Amino acid sequence: MEQKPAEQKPVVFSGIQPTGVFTLGNYLGALKNWVRLQDDYRCVYSVVDLHSLTVRQEPRELRENTLRSLALLLACGIDPEKSVLFIQSHVHTHAELTWVLDCYIPFGELGRMTQFKDKSGAHPENINAGLFNYPALMAADILLYRAASVPVGADQKQHLELSRNTAIRFNNIYGDTFPVPEPLIPKDTGRVMSLQEPTKKMSKSDINPKAYVSVLDRPETIIKKFKSAVTDSETEVAFREGKDGVNNLLIIYCAVENLTIEQAEAEFAGKGYGEFKLRVGEAVAEHLRPLQERCERLYADKAYLGECYRKGAEKALAISKRTLEKVYKKVGLIVP
């Protein structure tokens, strides 16, 4: 099938924070989907380092984590020739549009963000204005590139809704300026949950390191974490209501082995949970091994990484400056 020229494809924007730990949930639920989207969309992907400043960072670690995150995105299959891939702080238009949008987002709307409540509760010693305000920066990230769609998990829809409301509010005042972005929720991969509390999403911020798998965990660590995963008091490997732990492991196994739930159930029919958990751990470790090897090679090549993020920033700035200048003109600012 003949592909559309890049300029005719709808734009997708997504970003990921450089926390140093991409979980298996990030990889299966988001990053693999980012790679697939490159064929059908004009993709703009960013390591959103400015967002990470809402929590106090150790400067050297932040720099290292930012480069490692970039290497991981490349290792996952993000192609800098197909997509615009850049580091957020290298493109000054993000901070500039944020200020304008700040003046059009009601205080109460930001106050209703559940993640602000959650993070301020987790870091009561550092409830800063950036933590309150970062959804405005997220809106700027999306609207700068006139994104038609944003890949999001179900738990991120509130932030996208704020971006949509902001675009609609601005358009109502000044006329057509921003496309109103739609959520792009992948349907083919189930949500990856905590290995210790399978009713909760797998999260890198979990205080229990056994609850999540990092994509850079060593094979023996991955297998050990899966062997200690919570299941239930039954013995049947089956996908059904009330078996949250087993369901989670089946979703993960099917994702890395490219199987249906029915095929996985048949494979483990009559087998115990111990054998099941070991096999899932081995499958995940083997699936991640080539990704880890590519990441290490890329991370060691600082010259190549520098070339990627400089070229990506140039492309991102060229696109986003057009949007920012349009916004400045709409609100009455003089464009130099």
**51-104 tens-digit pLDDT:** 999 888 999 999 999 999 999 999 999 999 999 999 999 999 999 999 999 999
Are 132 and 116 in contact, with CB atoms under 8 Å apart?
Answer: yes
- pLDDT of 68 reads 95
Nearest to 141 by CA among 80, 184, 97: 97
In the set 9, 157, 204, 330, the catalytic residue is 204
What average pLDDT does this structure show over 120-144?
Answer: 85
What average pLDDT does this structure show over 20-42?
Answer: 91
3-state secondary structure 10-49: CEEEEEECCCCCCEHHHHHHHHHHHHHHCCCCEEEEEECC
Are 268 and 276 in contact, with CB atoms under 8 Å apart?
Answer: yes
204 is catalytic: yes
- pLDDT of 114 reads 76
- pLDDT of 159 reads 80
Nearest to 94 by CA among 44, 63, 133, 48: 48
- d(C-alpha 279, C-alpha 284), whole Å: 9
- d(C-alpha 11, C-alpha 7), whole Å: 9
Are 313 and 70 in contact, with CB atoms under 8 Å apart?
Answer: no
Which residues lie below 8 Å from residue 197, measured CB to CB, with a gap of 6+? 211, 230
In the set 32, 201, 225, 243, the catalytic residue is 201
**190-238 tens-digit pLDDT:** 689 999 999 999 988 888 999 999 999 999 999 999 999 999 999 999 9
- pLDDT of 121 reads 65
**262-293 tens-digit pLDDT:** 999 999 999 999 999 999 999 999 999 999 99
Average pLDDT of every residue of the chain? 92
**pTM attached to this predicted model:** 0.90
201 is catalytic: yes
Domains of the chain: 6-185+302-331 (3.40.50.620), 209-296 (1.10.240.10)
**Phi-psi category of 217—alpha, beta or left, where left has phi over 0 and alpha has psi -120 to 50?**
beta
Q: Band the pLDDT of 120: cuts 50, 70, 90.
A: low
- pLDDT of 122 reads 65
What average pLDDT does this structure show over 239-261?
Answer: 95
330 is catalytic: no
pLDDT of residue 334 exceeding 70: yes
In the set 119, 225, 243, 277, the catalytic residue is 119
Nearest to 165 by CA among 111, 96, 114, 106: 106
Which helix (H) or strand (E) segment is 136 a member of?
helix 129-143
pLDDT of residue 4 exceeding 60: no
**166-179 tens-digit pLDDT:** 999 999 999 999 99
pLDDT of residue 43 exceeding 90: yes
